[in-house]
Chains A and B, each alone.
Chain A
Amino acid sequence: MDIRDYLRVLSKCDRLMEIDGEVDWNLEVGAIQGMSNRVAHKACLFNNIKGYPGWRMLGSPWACCSREDVWMGNALAAGLPPGTSRSEYHRVIDRKLYGSISPTEIASADAPCKEVIKLGKEANLFELPIPYLHSTDGGRYLTAHVILHRDPDTGWTNWGWYRFMAIGPRRASSLNVPTQQGPAILFQKYWARGKACPFALAIGGDPAIAIAAAFGAGAGVCEADIVGSIRDSPLEVVRCETNNLLVPARAEVVIEGEILPGEMVDEGPFAEFSGFVHGRMQNPLYRINCITHRKDPIMIFVSQVGTVNEGICVPVPNIEADRMHLLVEEKGLPVRDVGVAAEQPNSIFVSMNDTRQHFLAQVAAVSQASKLASYEHHLWFFDPDQDVGLSHYALEAWALNCDPRTGFHISDEDAFNNPLLFITGLEERNKMINAAKVWYDCTTANKPPELIPRKDNFERGYDKDIQSRVKERWIEMGFDVPFKEIETV
């Protein structure tokens, strides 16, 4: 599957809006897609881009979902049918994220991404309709791609998803958080030897690349192998023109280049996925040596406006599946389900099969030390029957059950601080220190029975006969929205 096949899937599911009128790459496409994310939950395919004949633009192809089905873009991109439930997505993706099928290299002549090749001074980033997305951004940003860097010691290639700012025709920069394994750790290995770090950036190709790139796979795991696992067949890759990196053959656009030792530039500001403007930082200068693309390329971007955007909906379902894998399969802890808040992914909800406090503390210790824990500052524990898939249910239980005197536990007062989150002051964020982590006991385990309110809702408050009768007559009574049950234990 490539992004064009995926467009047909989105169209069939009524999650694609095709727009033929002329639109401007300068703020307009970003604004349209932002509103679509907020109210329509559809990706937009723009067929007529001002100043860029022959190009199309595709906005937020994975955020075609609402808060209530935040996993759906991932599910469709992974080849699962429309209507796949959250638990079904977790069950399938958990197996696939830890699988591995190596990619297959094909000849350049057979690779659609090589239909147009521009080398050296012919390569010009500004010939691509790179959008200017938000009026507070410091420049035009690529936002939907993978960047490939190779470990000079082991040969391992990391495929990661990092914002990429166009500065000049052959100059760019990218936000590289120093502790991220991909770019920062790898290019610094080259720099220590006085060498340039080769890179490649690929836009498009298999839509499952986004799932793999946002997963947070461990060091030594190439995300291309995960894409193969998701697809049950090897990803087709092709060699770059100017270095030995292997990029998705069915990509829309590939940008090749190198990061020369010590060359830093100012990058940012950029309105980030968390809904806040992230300020200007010094980041490496990416020098462009070659651009290849299809003859009728599609420039893909994601809108960061609105709660449901790719910074949320792509990683969140995978964090949930990954955390379950870690806590239950690897550590054998009594966890029933894990949910991540779609509003801010630094809040993780855990329902426990055994709510005794030592288990809560143990889960907090393991979870808040895991790979993606730099994004995790709030951890909430609930009874086993708590639905953790939707924040408002969890927050209701928190308000009812978390005793303000005894329910709050600071587990770390000096943790790594993710500069993209905004829970501390600017200086601490920039130094990436002093982020506290906290967990909340929202269970009823240690409360006297008389203090535990009876939970009541449709499923609990009516017996099965009444529920069935209402369900059977629902459409007949004239309701035009589907009957909806929620899972309870």
Chain B
Amino acid sequence: MSAEYEIHKSYIDLFARQIDAKEQVTCEVVSRGDFLRHLVRANISRSIEALPKGQKLWLRDDGSGLLDTEPYSIEILEELDPDEVTFIPEKGVGVDIYGTR
């Protein structure tokens, strides 16, 4: 897996409580090297300094597509197979044009 990752802002907001409580989260991140989406179990911090052994996690705005200038930090503990994990549509936060949530 590559050294830097990205995640969408409104998506990471779903995990705000776990991040602030320093709990592990299971979420999807995109590697910046090849843009492959990974489902991972990870520790996430809002700053590099608070999780120095982590890798950079850039936040992408859902609307404009721009990346924030200050990355979070992510320590990936385990990569999960998305086909082995039941997909939960409620995890998604993009505009729900079909009304499936």
Residues of A within 8 A of B (CB): 126, 132, 134-140, 166-171, 177-178, 262-271, 277, 279-283, 285, 419, 426, 430, 432
Please determine whether A282 and B96 come into contact, CB atoms closer than 8 angstroms. Answer: yes
The listed residue (B10, B66, B95, B101) touching A136 by CB distance below 8 A is B66
A262 to B90, CA, bound (A): 11
Within 8 A of A (CB), among B78-101: 82-83, 87, 89, 92-98, 100-101
The listed residue (A138, A170, A271, A277) touching B30 by CB distance below 8 A is A138
A137 to B97, CA, bound (A): 20
The listed residue (B64, B65, B83, B92) touching A265 by CB distance below 8 A is B92
A214 to B36, CA, bound (A): 29
- Min Cβ gap B77→A in Å is 19
A279 to B62, CA, bound (A): 6
Additional A-B contacts beyond A263-B87, A265-B92, A277-B65 (13; CB < 8 A): A132-B35, A135-B65, A138-B60, A139-B37, A140-B35, A169-B36, A271-B65, A277-B63, A279-B63, A280-B10, A280-B93, A281-B97, A430-B95
Please determine whether B37 and A432 come into contact, CB atoms closer than 8 angstroms. Answer: no
Please determine whether B63 and A269 come into contact, CB atoms closer than 8 angstroms. Answer: yes
Please determine whether A138 and B65 come into contact, CB atoms closer than 8 angstroms. Answer: yes
Q: 30 pairs across A/B with beta carbons < 8 Å? A: A135-B65, A136-B64, A136-B66, A138-B65, A139-B35, A168-B36, A171-B37, A262-B89, A263-B87, A264-B89, A264-B96, A265-B92, A266-B8, A268-B62, A268-B65, A269-B64, A270-B65, A277-B64, A279-B63, A279-B94, A280-B8, A280-B62, A280-B63, A280-B93, A282-B95, A282-B96, A282-B97, A282-B100, A419-B97, A432-B97
**A-B CB proximity, top 9 nearest:** A136-B65, A269-B65, A266-B94, A280-B94, A279-B63, A280-B62, A281-B95, A167-B37, A430-B95
Whether B34 is near chain A, meaning CB under 8 Å from some CB there, is yes
The listed residue (A137, A169, A263, A268) touching B94 by CB distance below 8 A is A268
Whether B72 is near chain A, meaning CB under 8 Å from some CB there, is no
A477 to B49, CA, bound (A): 72
Please determine whether A139 and B82 come into contact, CB atoms closer than 8 angstroms. Answer: no
- Min Cβ gap B54→A in Å is 22
Known: A132-B35, A140-B35, A178-B98. A264 touches B60 (CB 8 A): no
Chain A residues within an 8 Å CB radius of B34: 126
Whether B11 is near chain A, meaning CB under 8 Å from some CB there, is yes
Closest to A426 in B: B63
A271 to B63, CA, bound (A): 11
Within 8 A of A (CB), among B26-59: 30, 34-37
A171 to B30, CA, bound (A): 13
The listed residue (B8, B37, B63, B65) touching A137 by CB distance below 8 A is B65
Closest to A419 in B: B97
- Min Cβ gap A408→B in Å is 31
A430 to B96, CA, bound (A): 8
Q: How large is the interface on B (under 10, 10 to 19, 20 to 34, 35 or more residues)?
A: 20 to 34
Please determine whether B37 and A279 come into contact, CB atoms closer than 8 angstroms. Answer: no
Residues of B within 8 A of A (CB): 8, 10-11, 30, 34-37, 60-66, 82-83, 87, 89, 92-98, 100-101
Chain A residues within an 8 Å CB radius of B97: 177-178, 281-283, 419, 430, 432
Chain B residues within an 8 Å CB radius of A283: 94, 97
Chain A residues within an 8 Å CB radius of B60: 138, 269
A166 to B64, CA, bound (A): 20
Known: A168-B82, A171-B82. A264 touches B98 (CB 8 A): yes
Chain B residues within an 8 Å CB radius of A126: 34, 36
Among A126, A171, A264, A267, residue most surrounded by chain B Cβ atoms (within 10 Å):
A264
- Min Cβ gap A277→B in Å is 5
Please determine whether A266 and B64 come into contact, CB atoms closer than 8 angstroms. Answer: no
A285 to B8, CA, bound (A): 18
Among B11, B62, B66, B93, residue most surrounded by chain A Cβ atoms (within 10 Å):
B62
A178 to B34, CA, bound (A): 30
Closest to A125 in B: B36
- Min Cβ gap B91→A in Å is 9
Closest to A139 in B: B35
Known: A126-B34, A262-B89, A430-B95. A282 touches B63 (CB 8 A): no
- Min Cβ gap B62→A in Å is 4
A270 to B63, CA, bound (A): 9
Please determine whether A269 and B92 come into contact, CB atoms closer than 8 angstroms. Answer: no
The listed residue (B37, B95, B101) touching A280 by CB distance below 8 A is B95
Closest to A284 in B: B98
Among B10, B65, B66, B87, residue most surrounded by chain A Cβ atoms (within 10 Å):
B65
- Min Cβ gap A166→B in Å is 7
Closest to B30 in A: A139
A134 to B61, CA, bound (A): 14
- Min Cβ gap A73→B in Å is 27
Chain A residues within an 8 Å CB radius of B66: 136
A282 to B93, CA, bound (A): 7
The listed residue (B30, B62, B92) touching A264 by CB distance below 8 A is B92
- Min Cβ gap A338→B in Å is 31
